[in-house]
Amino acid sequence: MNSVLENPFRVLGISPTASTREIAKARSELMIYIEMGKVKTYWHDSVLPGTVARTLDAIENAANQIEKPSSKLLHALFWFWEGSSDSIDEMAFDLLGNGNKKKARDFWVKGVSPSAAYNSPSNYKNLAILDFGLCQSFKPELKAEYLLNDLSLMGSFLSGDGFNDFCNAVLGDGVSVNVDQVVMEYTSILINELSGIINLDSLPNFRSAKKSLSKFPGEAQSDFSEKVMGVLVSNIKKDIDKYDNQVEADESSAAKYGIKLYERSNENIEFLSEMVISGDLQYQTVLDKYFNTLLQSAISAWNSNDVSEGSKILDKILKIEKIVLNSKSNLSQRLIDRATEQFDVMHKVLDDEKKLKPLLPLVEQLNKAHKRSQKSGAGAQYEIAKNFVYGIKQNLDKFRRKYRDSEDSEEKEIIENVVSNCSHFVNQCGVTTANDNSEYGRAIELVDMAQRILLYPVGYNSSSMNSELSNQLKVGRRTLANNISSANGLLGMAIGGGIRVFKKNTKCGCGSGRNLNECCSV
């Protein structure tokens, strides 16, 4: 750290408690050595790395730096407290003078340990200064641990009674400075220099540094948090924008990008959430944007893929759902409502598709017949419809009974939708047979079949699954019976494929009133 290695007290070879007269004397002695062509050295020259430049300009600059009381106190905070009359300090400085840095450090470590009989304030400060000076020689895995611990030691020093004693020793009697302002400047320089040695933007280091600063003045803590949080929030925003763009550009893979955003930012988001919960609400908009991107990644993936039980896409969507809904305490109510609504719709569709699955053989038969009908002329419609009706009888009877016995209104609605599609198809073949070939008798036969498809047994009688459609078919039959070819009384319906048949005829659960294929769950 430059504030230690290039400290004016180091250049002049004096203690921070040196008086104005002692500073002047040290300056004069160094000038004389230079005039004589000699080099004066001190014990700390060999302890700390780097060569100390003791030129005329360097000496003059060092003396000027500590001329003002506030500047003297600031630089004193970055140098050893010699002459404290503490026995551990005396032994440690003797060891440093003999080049035994490790043993000197061990003395000070014992001096600041909770088990020590007495914790001298000077021990806290001197251990921190030694580490600040030697930090570049620390092993990489220990560097952050040591320096963040030293930050905590300086907090203990600054908040303890010993700090007042230190200030008085440095400034002397009758000298007054704005100590709080000096401490703020010291903290700012210290944090800036530490940032160049360890990555304080990383969340683990930031958490430790924030904890280490807990004994620093509140304003210093806030200043540190704002600086580092600014970088942290900026990084989070960049990640959100990056994956938000990817979700928009590749909707079919959107869930994958949502998961990547979560994996990359989760730890930072958790910390941001802690800040919001503790009352720092300025970060709420960032949290909302993050969780909105996650939610949108799930919605886009759902809308762009045929999602089904057991699929990898569904696994990702469900993971995102868990992440979002487990974070309700971090979300605005608007976002909670949107997330709950969207995931409820998805689960409703999945549940309905599960109920629809047994009907798929019947749907497949309908799809095949519909394709044959589209490829064939008007003359073939009668045979296609008739063969279809005979072919579905076994499956149809099974679902008629299921419709009758089921107490699940949603299941009954699904069966009704599929069976009504079958009825529509047969009726449409009748429309074509009547309108294009004028074969009214055959058309009436198909309309009768279409009506019977809708019937299910109730005791000794039968009832229609779709009374409205049955009534419309009756109107169409009367029209045919009068040999009036009109498509207005007859219904035609395009049949989709597979499970999409169901989606095209079921209202979306989001409350928009539109069908599923036109709304959220396409």
Structure tokens at 104: 């000197």
> Rounded to whole angstroms, how far apart are CA atoms 148 and 154?
10
- Residues forming a β-bridge with 498: none
**pLDDT at position 473, please?**
94
Beta strand 455-458 pairing with 461-464? antiparallel
Once rounded to an integer, what is the mean pLDDT over residues 138-147?
85
Once rounded to an integer, what is the mean pLDDT over residues 457-471?
92
- Taking a C-beta distance cutoff of 8 angstroms, is the pair 69, 167 a contact? no
- Taking a C-beta distance cutoff of 8 angstroms, is the pair 442, 433 a contact? yes
Once rounded to an integer, what is the mean pLDDT over residues 260-264?
95
Element (H, E) at 103: helix 101-112
Same domain, residue pair 204 and 313: no
Same domain, residue pair 260 and 391: no
Amino acid code (one letter) for 457: P
How many residues are present in the chain? 522
Same domain, residue pair 86 and 34: yes
> Rounded to whole angstroms, how far apart are CA atoms 309 and 273?
33
Once rounded to an integer, what is the mean pLDDT over residues 122-141?
90
**pLDDT at position 220, please?**
83
516 within some domain: no
Nearest to 316 by CA among 391, 376, 263: 263
Torsions phi, psi for 308 (to 5 deg): -140, 165
- Taking a C-beta distance cutoff of 8 angstroms, is the pair 89, 120 a contact? yes
77 within some domain: yes
Nearest to 185 by CA among 148, 156, 158: 158
Question: Model confidence at 143, in pLDDT bands (50, 70, 90)?
Answer: confident
pLDDT tens figures, 93-113: 999 999 999 999 999 999 999
Structure tokens at 294: 């996650």
**pLDDT at position 505, please?**
46
**pLDDT at position 447, please?**
95
> Rounded to whole angstroms, how far apart are CA atoms 477 and 451?
10
pLDDT at 170 > cutoff 50: yes
Torsions phi, psi for 461 (to 5 deg): -115, -170
348 within some domain: no
> Rounded to whole angstroms, how far apart are CA atoms 453 and 415?
12
Distances in Å between the alpha carbon of 373 and those of 69, 295, 493? 99, 42, 13
pLDDT tens figures, 414-433: 999 999 999 999 999 999 99
Same domain, residue pair 175 and 294: no
pLDDT at 272 > cutoff 60: yes
Same domain, residue pair 149 and 249: no
> Rounded to whole angstroms, how far apart are CA atoms 123 and 86?
8
Amino acid code (one letter) for 62: A
336 within some domain: no
Same domain, residue pair 367 and 300: no
| Host domain of residue 288 | 237-331
Same domain, residue pair 182 and 292: no
| Helix and strand element counts for the chain (H, E) | 24, 2
Nearest to 305 by CA among 246, 244, 251, 345: 251
pLDDT at 273 > cutoff 50: yes
Same domain, residue pair 150 and 255: no
> Rounded to whole angstroms, how far apart are CA atoms 519 and 508?
6
C-alpha 14: how far from its chain's center?
52
Distances in Å between the alpha carbon of 395 and those of 154, 201, 398, 411, 415? 82, 65, 5, 16, 12
pLDDT at 443 > cutoff 90: yes
> Rounded to whole angstroms, how far apart are CA atoms 444 and 484?
12
**pLDDT at position 44, please?**
92
Amino acid code (one letter) for 491: L
pLDDT tens figures, 344-353: 999 998 988 8
Structure tokens at 479: 């029209």
Torsions phi, psi for 115 (to 5 deg): -80, -10
> Rounded to whole angstroms, how far apart are CA atoms 124 and 128?
6
> What's the total number of domains in the chain?
3
Once rounded to an integer, what is the mean pLDDT over residues 281-309?
92
352 within some domain: no
Same domain, residue pair 381 and 478: yes
Same domain, residue pair 191 and 306: no
511 within some domain: no
- What is the chain's Cα-based Rg? 41
- Taking a C-beta distance cutoff of 8 angstroms, is the pair 99, 211 a contact? no
pLDDT at 195 > cutoff 90: no
- Give CA torsion, residues 511, 517, 519, 521, to 10 deg: 90
**pLDDT at position 513, please?**
53
381 within some domain: yes
> Rounded to whole angstroms, how far apart are CA atoms 8 and 27?
11
Same domain, residue pair 380 and 426: yes
> Rounded to whole angstroms, how far apart are CA atoms 373 and 375?
5
Same domain, residue pair 209 and 265: no
- Taking a C-beta distance cutoff of 8 angstroms, is the pair 324, 339 a contact? yes
Which region holds residue 305: left if phi is over 0, alpha if psi is between -120 and 50, else beta? beta
Once rounded to an integer, what is the mean pLDDT over residues 38-53?
91
Distances in Å between the alpha carbon of 369 and those of 70, 422, 429, 444, 449? 94, 10, 11, 19, 15
Average pLDDT, the chain: 87
DSSP secondary structure letter of residue 214: G
| Token pair 């029209």 in the structure block, residue | 479
Percent of the chain with pLDDT over 70: 92
Q: Maximum CA pair distance of the chain? A: 132
Please give the full DSSP string across 279-332, using - where no structure is assigned. Answer: T-GGGHHHHHHHHHHHHHHHHHHHHHS---TT-HHHHHHHHHHHHHHTTGGGS-
**pLDDT at position 1, please?**
65
Element (H, E) at 243: helix 218-249
> Rounded to whole angstroms, how far apart are CA atoms 200 and 240?
21
CB atoms within 10 A of CB 412: 17
221 within some domain: no
